[in-house]
C-alpha cells in the first residue's frame, strides 16, 4: 500500500471501516422485531340514562289590566271640581269629580212638592167616593156620578205613585253629580278640567282606572302545537302535571324572570282564522306594579312531564351535509357506530331526543373529529364542562388562555 504525501490514507480507510461496522451492527440488532399497532384513540362518552323532565314552551304575549273602568258622566252639567291626583291609586267609591248639583237639587225639590200636592188631594177625593157609594144605595145619586168619583180616586192614587217615582229619579240624578270610582286601581290622566261642560254617556271618558294587581298576560299558541301536545298526551309520551301544571313563569323584556309565577286561567276555544292561533290567559301577581299594561313578555307554559326523556349534550350531536342530526355511539365491542337522531327541542345545553338513542348507549361528546364509524376506540367517562372549567382555573393565567 502506498502512502500519500501527508501519510493520511491509512487513517481515512480505518475511519470508513469503523463506520461500516457500526452501520452493520445497528441493522443486525433490529432484525426479528416488528412495530406494534397504534393505540386506540381515546374518546369521552356520556351514557344515556332516561330521566323525568318537565317540558315547557315559551310563548310571546302582552300584558293587560285585570279590570278597566272608563269614567263617564251620567248627567249633563259643569265640572266644579276634580278631586283626585292623576296617576295615583284610588279606591272603589272614592269621589273623583263633582258636577254642579244646583239644577238637580231644584228638580228634586219640585218633584217633592208635586208629590205633596197629589197626596193632599187624595183624602177629599176618597171621602167623596165613599159618600157617593152610600147615596147610591138610596138612589140619591146616579150610578155615573158614583163611577166618576171612584175613577177620580184611582187617578189621584196613580198621580201619587208617579210623583214618588219622579222624586226617586231626581234623587238618582242628584247622586250622579258625584262621580265616584267604580273599582279600585290606578287612575290615569284627566281628560277634562274644572269648568268643563260634560254630557251624559259622552263618547270621551273623563278618566280611566286600571287594576294592575293582579294583571293579565295574554299569550298566543298555534293550533298545530296544541294538536301535537294532545297527541303526545294520548300516546303516553307526556303526562299532565297535576301539582304545578297551571303555574307559568313570566320572562320580562330584559330577559329577567318575574318575581312571582302566574297561573294559567283558561285557554280560548276559538282559533283566530288569520293567524291559526288561540289565546291563553294567565293571571300574574303584580304587587309592585312591575308589569304595566301593554308590555311585551314571554311565558314559559308547562306542557307536561316526560317520564323517560332522553337528553344528550348538544356537542355530541352533529349534522350531515343534508342537515340530518346524528350521534356517534360506542358499542359493546368498543367500535364507533353512527346513529341518526330525531330531535324534539333544545333544553339548556342539551337536546331532547325523540328517537335514535336508547338507555345505556355511550354517546361520544369529545374526540369525534379523530374517529370514524367502525373504528375501535377507548371510551372514558366524560367529566363535563364544570370539571374542565375547574381544571382550567388551576392553570397559570398564560396557560389558562
Architecture per CATH, domain 74-100+177-204, reads as: Beta Barrel (2.40)
> Could you give the CA distance from residue 389 to residue 362 in angstroms, rounded to a whole number?
23
What's the pLDDT at 354? 86
Residues of the chain with CATH 2.40.420.20: 44-50+309-390
Give me the CATH topology for the region 44-50+309-390.
Answer: 2.40.420
Closest by alpha carbon to 287, among 205, 136, 357, 186? Answer: 186
Q: Phi first, then psi: what are they for 385, rounded to 5°?
A: -65, -30
Decide the pairing of beta strands 350-355 and 342-347.
antiparallel
Record the cell numbers describing residue 48, joined without a space. 344515556
> Could you give the CA distance from residue 168 to residue 185 in angstroms, rounded to a whole number?
31
Q: What is the DSSP string of 105-120?
A: HHHHHHHHHHHHHHHH
Residues of the chain with CATH 1.10.287.470: 101-176
pLDDT, one tens digit for every residue, the chain (401 residues): 444 444 445 545 555 555 555 544 444 444 445 555 778 888 999 999 998 888 888 889 999 999 999 999 999 999 999 999 999 999 999 999 999 999 999 999 999 999 999 999 999 999 988 888 888 888 888 889 888 889 999 999 999 999 999 999 999 999 999 999 999 999 999 999 999 999 999 999 999 999 999 999 999 888 887 777 777 667 665 666 655 557 888 999 888 888 888 888 888 878 888 888 888 899 999 998 899 999 999 998 887 788 888 999 999 999 999 999 999 999 988 899 999 999 988 888 899 898 889 899 999 999 888 888 988 888 898 887 654 444 444 444 444 44
Closest by alpha carbon to 302, among 245, 355, 356, 351? Answer: 245
Q: Across-strand partners of 326?
A: 318, 340
What's the pLDDT at 34? 54
> Could you give the CA distance from residue 280 to residue 269 in angstroms, rounded to a whole number?
10
> Could you give the CA distance from residue 247 to residue 233 in angstroms, rounded to a whole number?
19
Closest by alpha carbon to 71, among 194, 197, 204? Answer: 204
> Could you give the CA distance from residue 74 to residue 202 in angstroms, rounded to a whole number?
9
Tell me how far CA of residue 343 lies from CA of 20, 59, 303, 327, in angstroms. 68, 20, 17, 11
Global pTM reads 0.66
Residues of the chain with CATH 2.40.30.170: 54-65+211-307
What's the pLDDT at 194? 94
Q: Whats the size of the chain, residue-wise? A: 401
Using DSSP, state whether 16 is helix, strand or coil. helix
Record the cell numbers describing residue 118, joined without a space. 197629589
Whether domain 101-176 has CATH 3.30.460.10: no
> Could you give the CA distance from residue 286 to residue 328 in angstroms, rounded to a whole number?
49
Give me the CATH topology for the region 54-65+211-307.
Answer: Elongation Factor Tu (Ef-tu); domain 3 (2.40.30)
Contacts 24+ apart (CB under 8 A), 260-266: 260/284, 260/285, 260/286, 260/287, 262/217, 262/299, 264/301
Amino acid at each position: 500500500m502506498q502512502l500519500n504525501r501527508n501519510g493520511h490514507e491509512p487513517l481515512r480507510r480505518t475511519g470508513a471501516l469503523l463506520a461500516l461496522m457500526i452501520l452493520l451492527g445497528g441493522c443486525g440488532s433490529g432484525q426479528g422485531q416488528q412495530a406494534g399497532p397504534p393505540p386506540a384513540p381515546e374518546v369521552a362518552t356520556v351514557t344515556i340514562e332516561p330521566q323525568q323532565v318537565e317540558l315547557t314552551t315559551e310563548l310571546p304575549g302582552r300584558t293587560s289590566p285585570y279590570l278597566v273602568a272608563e269614567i263617564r258622566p251620567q248627567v249633563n252639567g259643569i265640572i266644579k271640581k276634580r278631586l283626585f291626583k292623576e296617576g295615583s291609586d284610588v279606591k272603589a267609591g272614592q269621589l273623583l269629580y263633582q258636577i254642579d248639583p244646583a239644577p238637580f237639587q231644584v228638580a228634586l225639590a219640585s218633584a217633592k212638592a208635586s208629590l205633596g200636592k197629589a197626596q193632599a188631594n187624595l183624602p177629599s177625593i176618597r171621602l167623596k167616593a165613599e159618600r157617593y157609594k152610600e147615596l147610591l144605595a138610596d138612589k140619591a145619586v146616579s150610578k155615573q156620578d158614583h163611577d166618576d168619583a171612584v175613577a177620580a180616586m184611582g187617578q189621584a192614587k196613580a198621580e201619587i205613585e208617579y210623583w214618588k217615582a219622579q222624586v226617586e229619579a231626581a234623587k238618582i240624578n242628584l247622586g250622579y253629580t258625584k262621580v265616584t270610582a267604580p273599582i279600585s286601581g290606578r287612575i290615569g290622566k284627566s281628560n277634562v278640567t274644572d269648568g268643563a261642560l260634560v254630557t251624559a254617556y259622552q263618547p270621551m271618558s273623563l278618566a280611566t282606572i286600571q287594576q294592575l294587581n293582579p294583571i293579565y298576560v295574554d299569550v298566543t299558541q298555534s293550533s298545530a302545537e296544541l294538536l301535537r301536545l294532545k297527541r303526545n298526551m294520548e300516546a303516553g309520551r307526556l303526562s299532565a302535571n297535576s301539582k304545578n301544571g297551571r303555574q307559568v313563569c313570566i320572562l320580562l323584556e330584559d330577559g329577567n324572570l318575574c318575581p312571582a309565577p302566574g297561573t294559567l286561567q283558561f285557554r280560548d276555544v276559538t282559533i283566530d282564522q288569520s293567524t291559526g292561533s288561540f289565546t291563553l290567559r294567565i293571571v300574574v301577581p303584580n304587587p309592585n306594579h312591575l308589569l304595566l299594561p301593554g308590555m311585551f313578555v314571554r311565558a314559559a307554559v308547562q306542557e307536561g312531564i316526560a317520564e323517560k326523556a332522553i337528553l344528550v349534550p348538544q356537542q355530541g350531536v352533529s349534522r350531515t351535509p343534508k342537515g340530518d342530526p346524528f350521534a356517534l355511539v360506542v358499542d359493546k365491542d368498543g367500535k364507533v357506530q353512527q346513529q341518526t337522531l330525531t330531535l324534539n327541542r333544545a333544553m339548556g345545553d342539551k337536546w331532547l331526543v325523540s328517537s335514535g338513542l336508547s338507555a345505556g348507549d355511550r354517546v361520544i361528546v369529545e374526540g369525534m373529529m379523530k374517529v370514524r364509524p367502525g373504528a375501535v376506540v377507548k371510551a372514558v367517562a366524560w367529566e363535563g364542562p364544570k370539571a374542565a372549567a375547574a381544571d382550567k382555573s388551576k392553570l397559570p393565567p398564560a396557560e389558562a388562555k
